[in-house]
Amino acid sequence: MADEYLINYCAPTLAGLKTGSLFTIYPSPGDNVYEEVRRLNHLLRKKGLRALLCRKCGRYALIYVYRPDFLKRDLRDPKAKKILSGKGYNCEDPEICVVQLIKHLTDDGTFPHEIGLFLGYPPSDVSGFIKDPNAGVKCCGCWKVYSDKEGAERTFKKYEKCTDTYRKLFKNGRTLEQLTVKI
């Protein structure tokens, strides 16, 4: 997996603006995704991030990159706890929640829409999507917005600007390690 993937799909997380990012890769035959995730963890842990292989299925792999401290903060929100406990999660420990999320991703026949909470999306928007993904949508960007349209639009612009900046810096020779902010 090229570091460019992380720049393209995880820049706001690498910059410390977002809790987590999720992306799909399509490894070539012979690529060792497990080794690549280990390499990323070696690099990212020093900066306060983790990379997890959430699912490897046939021709693709689903990778989750996140900041554990941010996730701990996000999952303390009473609305987030209510959503997760309603889905059977143990809300006392964010790491256990991550393990449970991965189990849902690999074992369930449906996609766990509560995943937005693990990416830093507002609980009110995650709740709106779970309730009815098409009713009451105020705008769309990185996620569907059901509550604070103006705040979400500002966040979308911030994420877009961050990603554009990171792409330019990476193209001009900055490494993934140099671009990852330690918080």
Bridge-based pairing of strands 139-140 and 144-145 is: antiparallel
Instruction: State if pTM tops 0.75.
Output: yes
pLDDT at 115 over 90: yes
Cβ-based neighbour number of residue 39 at 10 Å: 14
- The pLDDT tens digits for 116-158 are 999 999 999 999 999 999 999 999 999 999 999 999 999 999 9
Q: Name the pLDDT band for 91 (thresholds 50, 70, 90).
A: confident
Give the burial class of 74: count Cβ atoms within 10 A of its Cβ; 0-12 exposed, 13-18 middle, 19 or more buried: buried
Bridge-based pairing of strands 50-57 and 60-66 is: antiparallel
Over range 162-181, report the average pLDDT. 97
- The pLDDT tens digits for 32-65 are 899 999 999 999 999 999 999 998 887 888 999 9
> Residue 109's pLDDT is what?
75
